[in-house]
Copies of this chain bind each other. A is one copy, B any other.
Amino acid sequence: MTQKDSIPRAAQAVPELRRIRAELSRLIEPGDLLAGVAVELLGAEVLHDLITSDRVLSRRQGAELAASAASAGLGPRQQSLAAGLQRWRTRRDQLHGQRDIDAMARFSGGILIPEDPDWPAQLRDLGPASPVALWFRAGEGLSDRERLDRLPTFTRAAAIVGSREITDYGIRITAELTEELVQAGLCLISGGAYGVDAAAHRAALRSAAERRAESSGGHALSQPHRPTPTIAVLAGGLDRLYPAGNEGLLQEVSAAGMLLSEMAPGSAPTRHRFLQRNRLIAALGMITVVTEARWRSGAQSTAHHALTLGRPVGVVPGSVFSASSSGCHRLLKETPAQVVTDAADVLALAGGLASVEPAAHPVLPMDVAKAPGRGHPQDGLTEAQRLLYDALPVHGLSSPAKLSGVAGLPLPKVLAELSRLQRSGRARTVNGQWGRAPAARSRPGLPTPS
């Protein structure tokens, strides 16, 4: 229990901050935007103190908080600190942060906070919806350092999600896509549910096991760092693995990869937490792929989170007579999500973001053959493509309508050729705006965007 007489003005020692954020992760429901704004403006300690004491903010602090909340787009109701404190104080009798941290240590895990250098920078894209902390479970008998080394950078993570109900078709394409992406050195990000989530984790684990078997063979070169194959982001506390039928699978994910949750141990996976959990899956990966989804599915929510964050969304089409693909087609019809049919498509759609290591087997010969930087970027282009490539800004971005004017090409042609230039690694797109992709040779290691 923290009981202080004055609001602390300077950052606490890190262990104290860790305990404070551990407690906030129990007090505050995920995605509480006012709490996010308050943490940004006042700091975690002040918010914690406000919740746990009966102090009030100064008039100036209150006005600043209201202004920050308004500029973050919160409505009048969401801006109310009084209502916020009422929410956050409902679990004020459960302030046992250190006990939770100690408990997670017994589960081969711990807590990561935004002040840690290992905090995934891509989560900052969530703004005030950023999680207060991330609980993790990984490996057994490892140090926290070794565990956190399993966190992939943004450009090595791809989310694959879908419905709980899965068909043979869904299993097959989920497994194929996941295996190829993991073989290409990417880390799968998914939930822990039955269906697509489970099929994807199984495929990732299988792919990692094959890689281990190969690299332990006589002729293999030493592998100083083995990329993490898979991460499951769960909606409840990591002390209990939900659903129970996936407990064994999630333990395997923890052993070879990682489990993450923003909820403190002992927290139940409620419906609200499932929906909010989806924003973490969308934020952690550079792309979200929906392989099979019904009309209403959590995958819809994950895809919308990804699009809101400006991340590309790939969707696997299927039979128009299959209810299990209707959610995929819905995304293709109602959102800017793009069709993907294989791993090469996923990597192309992730675009300039992917920094994929050479795979042991050349699993993506098409994509590699299409990669830029193996000659002049204009080699093999048609006249229209050359005009358009010339028109693309090297720095910054331009709209298709503007490019149409600059290149002197009709808009439908521009749209069609932009897709082709993107697929051949020459153009990049952000929120419907287009620019020239950086040459592959000049970007051996992209910095993680923050």
Residues of A within 8 A of B (CB): 169, 172-173, 304, 307-308, 310, 316-321, 325-326, 329, 332-336, 338-342, 345, 399-401, 410-413, 415-416, 419-420, 423, 431-433
A308–B316 alpha-carbon span in the complex (Å): 27
Q: Which residue of B lies closest to A326 (CB)?
A: B341
A238–B317 alpha-carbon span in the complex (Å): 39
Question: What are 9 A-B contacts defined by CB distance under 8 Å?
Answer: A307-B416, A317-B318, A317-B325, A318-B318, A318-B319, A333-B423, A335-B412, A336-B412, A400-B432
Residues from chain B with Cβ under 8 Å of A399 in the complex: 399-401
- State whether B320 touches A320 (Cβ < 8 A): no
- State whether A320 touches B321 (Cβ < 8 A): no
- State whether B316 touches A320 (Cβ < 8 A): yes
* Beyond A172-B321, A318-B318, A412-B432, 7 extra complex contacts between A and B, CB < 8 Å: A317-B320, A333-B339, A334-B420, A336-B412, A401-B433, A410-B431, A411-B431
Q: Which residue of B lies closest to A411 (CB)?
A: B431
Does more than half of chain A's interface fall in helix, strand or loop, or is it mixed?
Answer: helix
Q: Which residue of B lies closest to A322 (CB)?
A: B319
Min CB–CB distance A403 → chain B (angstroms): 11
- State whether A335 touches B416 (Cβ < 8 A): yes
- State whether A341 touches B318 (Cβ < 8 A): no
Beyond A412-B307, A432-B400, whether A318 also contacts B316 by CB under 8 A is: no
A339–B338 alpha-carbon span in the complex (Å): 10
Q: Which residue of B lies closest to A401 (CB)?
A: B399
Residues from chain B with Cβ under 8 Å of A320 in the complex: 173, 316-318, 341-342
Residues from chain B with Cβ under 8 Å of A420 in the complex: 334
A236–B308 alpha-carbon span in the complex (Å): 52
A193–B402 alpha-carbon span in the complex (Å): 41
Residues from chain B with Cβ under 8 Å of A400 in the complex: 399, 432
Beyond A308-B412, A400-B432, A401-B433, whether A339 also contacts B319 by CB under 8 A is: no
Min CB–CB distance A338 → chain B (angstroms): 7
Residues from chain B with Cβ under 8 Å of A411 in the complex: 431-433
A326–B341 alpha-carbon span in the complex (Å): 9
Residues from chain B with Cβ under 8 Å of A319 in the complex: 169, 318-319
Residues from chain B with Cβ under 8 Å of A310 in the complex: 412
Residues from chain B with Cβ under 8 Å of A173 in the complex: 320-321
